[in-house]
Structure formats: C-alpha cells, structure tokens
Amino acid sequence: MHEHEHNDVVPTSSPATRVAAVVVDAFIANGVREAVVCPGSRSAPLALAFAEADRLHRLRLHVRTDERSGSFLALGLAKRSGRAVPVVMTSGTAVANCLPAMVEATAAGVPLVVVSANRPWELLGSGANQTIDQFGIFGSHAVAAVGIDAAVRTDAPADADADTVREQVAHAVACATAPVDGGGVQVDIPFTEPLVPTSTTEVSLAAREAAGQTVGTVRASGTLRTPVVPSAVVDLSRRTLVVAGDVRDKVWARYILDELAGVPTIAEPGCPAPDTPVHPAAAGLFTAEIGAGVGDGGYRAQMRPEQIVLVGRPTLHRGIARLLADPGIRVFPVTDRATAPSVGRVDLETAAPLHGVTVTGEHPRGWLRTCAAAGEVAAEAVREEIAGAEFTGLHVAAAVTDSLADGDAVVLGASSAVRDASLTGLPFPGVDVTASRGAAGIDGTVSTAVGVALAHASEQPDLVRAPRTVALMGDLTFLHDINGLSAGPGEPRPENLVIVVSNDDGGAIFETLEVGASGLRHFDDGASAFDRVVGTPTGADLGALCAGYGVGHQRVESLQDLRLALENHAEGAGGLLVVEAVVSREPRERMHRGLTAKTTVSPAGKG
C-alpha cells in the first residue's frame, strides 16, 4: 500500500474533474501502468484524466471504440504483465459489453478492472437516459465491486474526501491482484453535471494537485509466493505421474514444477515447461489396466500410475480427464486457487487445496523408461497422422511451434488451436504461452493477442526490434473478434505480432466431437444439419477484412508456404501481420480416430 499526506483535493470548477484526477493518480500509485479508455459522455472526466496521465508519461493509454474489444485488450495486457489494467467506459450497455472479459478474468485470476462511469445512483429506475442497474452487474463474475460516490455526495465537502477515494481504489487493485482469489473487479463511479471543466488547463491542474498528495512506494507485483501449508507429500516409490494444467500464477507453477523435476509430467501449453515432459496423447496409454503395457524394443511394463500430482486445472484432453477420473489412482490436487479442482472425482470435491509439494523416495525401477516410451509412442503417432493427411489445422500448429524461438510469446485460441499446439510440442522452455482457458471461450482472442504483444514489447523497450508475439487461432475465433484489429491513428500498435489463422471455414473442433458423427450431418431429405448449425462455414474474405482495418494479410495454402511466411516475418520488419492458412476440415475426424487408436492399449489378455 502507498502512503500519502492527508490533504483534500483543491477545488476546481468541476467535482467530477477533481475526483477523476484522484482516481487516476491512485491507480498509478497502486502499480497501474496501462489503461484502456472507451469514449462516452458520462465517462469523460475519467477519459480526460487518463489522457493527461498518458501525456505526462505516467502510464500508457489505449483508446478503443468498442468496449468488448477494449476489455479484452485490457485482459491481454493484464495477463502478460500481471498488473491491474483498468478499462473505462460510460454507463449503460457499454458496461454490459465487458461481461465476457470479466468472466474470463475472474475464472483465470487476471487483474482486469472495469471502471464504469454512472449516473447518480438515485436515478436508477427513474427512466433517466442511459441508466441501468450496473453497479454489481457482473455478480459472481467479479471478485469485488467498489462504488466511489465522492463526486455526487451532497453530505461531503465540495472538495471531496481524497483519502477515501484513494483507499477505495487501492482496495479494488488489491482485490484484483490477490494471489489466490484475485480476478475481475468493477469500480463504479457516478458523476453529475458539470462533467468536464471549460478547458484542459483545469484537467492538468487537477492532475497536478492529485499527484502532489501522493508520496511513498508503488505496490509490488509479480513476486514469488512461498507455498503455504498444507502441502502434498508425494512418495515417488509409487508409480507417479504429474498432470499440469491451467494455472493463475506461473511463478508459483514454475516453483512447483521445479520441486517435481524428474517426475514424468504431462503439461498443457499454458503451464511452464516441465523438466521431464510426457506427450499428452500418451494419457490413453496410462489408462490401461495393470498388466497391459507399451512396447519399447520388446519391453513391456505396467502403465497405470498409482498416483497423480495434479498441478492447476487441466481442461484440454479427454484422455487426461479419463485418467484423472480413475478412482483407483490417488490424486494430489496442488493448486494456486482457493479451491481444488474436482476433475470429476467425488473424493476431491471437498478436498482441501494443496499449495505446495514435497517429494520423498525414488522412482520404481523402469518407471521413467516406461513413461518416456509412452511419450515417444504418442509423439510418433502425431507425426504419422500429420504425414499422412492433407494440409490441416494440426499442420498449421506444427509449423507455428516449429517456428518459435527463445523469448517469443504465444497466444492460442481456446478451441482447436490450443489443443493442436499441445499435440505438436507446447509448452517448451523459453516461450511463454497465453490461452483463455479460465472459461475456455473464444471471445476476444484477437484483442487479447494485441494486449499481450503490447505488454511483451514494453518489457524490453530498449531493443531495436520488439520481441515477437505469435498468435494462433481458427477462422471463427478470428472473425468473432475481428474488431480487435481496430485502432485509431496514433494509438499504440503491436510492433511484432503475427496472427496465424487456421482457416478451415468453420468450427474444426466439432468434427471430433459426438455432434460430428456421420448420422448427424444431414436430415433425411438431404438438408444440412451439422454444417449449418454446428460447423457454420462463413466463406468470409479475410484478406478484404484485414485491408479494411489497414492490417497486412498473407494467404498461404501449403505447409511449405506457411513456414516461409513465418520465417520471413521473424526475420523481417515485424509489425502486425495476419497469415491466413487455408486448410481442410474434413480430415480432422479421421486423424483423431487414428491418433486415438495408436495411443490406446488393451488390457493384458484382451487385446
């Protein structure tokens, strides 16, 4: 927490201007370095105050005309930086547009702060223009809702209570950045006329007055949290496997995985790279009954682990879900969240969360060799499926992962893209991965990628060439947030971001799910069933859309051309480029069946 002198705001012509200046100064004092503003009348005091802070280089401001896109931009900035990022908008439906981003922020523990301007609260229900019941609108999808009414209170001095405002902002940031139960926070601020002063001189004066009240230090962020009890005590003399999934705190996850170094680990892309990785498709091998085995030069061994250390929350692969649901396998749920994930296990629904881990004993003879063999069987199965099929999304993911270099940041769409990247190599050391797997929606992925790229570049501002960010997503995910490409003249733009769109003209993931079965493709009269309401091809011209936003676009139709495009961007001038890889959706189900068949073993005596 910061310290400050106990002075009130010096009066100017507008209480709204004074309070907005204190709010912005308090955000900065509590570690905020990026902010997003969406235009509006009621939020004008805040918009001008943030613009003044940007002018003085106290923070960096991003302006977006669409609150939905703006909130996901803030989400991306916050995901990468770990700092709270406010997004400001006017009252009414503007606030409601932030719900998808708030859902993801709270589910994933990302410090997104929605700063909603409001009419005076007493006008609620009066029919006043652009007035809805917006304070607390996010319900359980916000970890806190803070109301700041200093600008409209009639029982307070005209100069308002600056100390109270600062404490309220500090509380909001603390709630958003809490290490275990942080997430999305709403700060609702009612304003009354006059909303703005007569000149920007008064905006600057209010900012100087507010800044003059603050002394002390900025809140720390991104610090290593020492694991607290209770911790899992894992005896490695029992066959042990680690499954690492989505985590809120990657610093914590790195610490836990370092403690588990040497233990075979299936890790999803959003988790730090493990010391002893096992391919995720190998989960089907580990679900075999005792007595089954995997071959390695004639070698056969017991495959079923006796215990699993579950780090975070895995969400991507059904084989892993089946493995974790096996009641015969003990599961240690080690988490950075307030509650342990149940993963379909009744015995874990009431289990106390474990925040640390201690290992004892040594692996059984042959266990490490068995796990390595299982991982290689799975990796080879993926390679065979890629080699035997035409150009698909899995090929695109393989090209993207092959192109990554140490220091790159990666953003993955939450549907097929993150699963394909998991099968083709991620995570690995030196590459940080972001995927919105908190609520696992495809919403806002373009805007999130832009936010991640901007934050990534700001970490090393002195580099001649900005560090690279690579985003991979499907065509529906891209189109769902196409407005994320929009930014006005003079706005900060990514200096080195390539967005790879795997365009199979529809929802590829559904090809591998039950709804993609052949019997659900058409009605008896031949009318389309699956494609119209599930596959949903659009036929959109992505090149024309990109041109409309002034964004570079390159279309490729082969794996070789994709690799060349990625290589040229990595070695070229950078900037923002969309690479559209035109692929086929049809082979997905066949490849999925082939991979499953190659990574499943039958119980001894039954296969």
Q: Provide the β-strand partners of residue 407.
A: none
**501: CATH:** 3.40.50.970
Within-domain flag for 481: yes
Residues 6+ apart with CB under 8 A from 249: 109, 179, 225, 336
Within-domain flag for 220: no
Range of lowest pLDDT (18-27, 155-164, 196-205, 314-323):
155-164
| Per-residue model confidence (pLDDT) at position 10 | 45
Within-domain flag for 591: no
Range of lowest pLDDT (198-202, 302-306, 357-361):
302-306
Q: Are residue 445 and residue 335 in the same domain, yes or no?
A: no
Within-domain flag for 602: no
| Per-residue model confidence (pLDDT) at position 155 | 61
With CA atoms as reference, report the closest residue to 476 among 416, 561, 525: 416
**363: CATH:** 3.40.50.1220
Within-domain flag for 324: yes
Q: Are residue 181 and residue 244 in the same domain, yes or no?
A: no
> Is residue 532 very low, low, confident or very high in pLDDT (cuts 50, 70, 90)?
very high
Return the percentage of the chain with pLDDT > 90, whole number. 79
Q: Are residue 562 and residue 415 in the same domain, yes or no?
A: yes
Please provide the DSSP assignment of 215-248 as one string: ES-PPP-SPPPPP-SSEEEEETTS-EEEEE-B-S
Within-domain flag for 75: yes
| Per-residue model confidence (pLDDT) at position 158 | 44
| pLDDT beyond 60 at 282 | yes
| pLDDT beyond 70 at 498 | yes
Q: Are residue 445 and residue 533 in the same domain, yes or no?
A: yes
> Residue written as tokens 């082969």?
558
Please provide the DSSP assignment of 69-132 as one string: HHHHHHHHHHHHH-S-EEEEE-STHHHHTTHHHHHHHHHHT--EEEEEEE--GGGTTTT-TT--
| Per-residue model confidence (pLDDT) at position 4 | 39
477-488 confidence digits (pLDDT tens): 999 999 999 999
- Is residue 97 a contact partner of residue 67, using CB atoms and an 8 Å limit? yes
At which of 214, 248, 277 does a domain end? 214
Within-domain flag for 597: no
- Is residue 173 a contact partner of residue 155, using CB atoms and an 8 Å limit? no
Q: Are residue 11 and residue 100 in the same domain, yes or no?
A: yes
Q: How many CA atoms lie within 13 A of 427 on its CB side?
A: 30
Rounded to whole angstroms, the Cα distance separating 454 from 448 reads 10
64-115 confidence digits (pLDDT tens): 999 999 999 999 999 999 999 999 999 999 999 999 999 999 999 999 999 9
| Per-residue model confidence (pLDDT) at position 13 | 60
> Is residue 343 very low, low, confident or very high in pLDDT (cuts 50, 70, 90)?
confident
Q: Are residue 54 and residue 123 in the same domain, yes or no?
A: yes
- Backbone φ and ψ for 298, nearest 5 degrees, come out as 90, -5
Range of lowest pLDDT (194-198, 301-305, 398-402, 454-458):
301-305
Average pLDDT rounded to a whole number, residues 408-430: 96
> Quick count: other Cβ atoms within 10 Å of Cβ 88?
33
Q: Are residue 307 and residue 200 in the same domain, yes or no?
A: no
Q: Are residue 188 and residue 155 in the same domain, yes or no?
A: yes
> Is residue 572 very low, low, confident or very high in pLDDT (cuts 50, 70, 90)?
confident
Residues 6+ apart with CB under 8 A from 524: none
Q: Are residue 441 and residue 549 in the same domain, yes or no?
A: yes
Rounded to whole angstroms, the Cα distance separating 579 from 555 reads 6
| Per-residue model confidence (pLDDT) at position 152 | 85
Average pLDDT rounded to a whole number, residues 155-173: 81
- Is residue 276 a contact partner of residue 263, using CB atoms and an 8 Å limit? yes
pTM (2 decimals)?
Answer: 0.92
Average pLDDT rounded to a whole number, residues 309-328: 93
Average pLDDT rounded to a whole number, residues 291-297: 48
| pLDDT beyond 70 at 330 | yes
179-226 confidence digits (pLDDT tens): 989 999 999 999 999 999 999 999 999 999 999 876 544 444 444 444
Within-domain flag for 373: yes
> Is residue 604 very low, low, confident or very high in pLDDT (cuts 50, 70, 90)?
very low
| Per-residue model confidence (pLDDT) at position 340 | 82
Q: Are residue 101 and residue 155 in the same domain, yes or no?
A: yes
Q: How many domains does the chain have?
A: 3
Q: Are residue 273 and residue 405 in the same domain, yes or no?
A: no
116-130 confidence digits (pLDDT tens): 999 998 888 777 788
| Per-residue model confidence (pLDDT) at position 301 | 52
What is the pLDDT of the chain when averaged over all its residues?
90
9-60 confidence digits (pLDDT tens): 445 568 999 999 999 999 999 999 999 999 999 999 999 999 999 999 999 9
Is residue 177 exposed (0-12), middle (13-18) or buried (19+ Cβ within 10 Å)? buried
Q: Are residue 446 and residue 349 in the same domain, yes or no?
A: no
> Where do the H-state alpha helices sit in 5-63?
15-29, 44-55
> Quick count: other Cβ atoms within 10 Å of Cβ 574?
19
- Containing structural domain, residue 325: 231-380
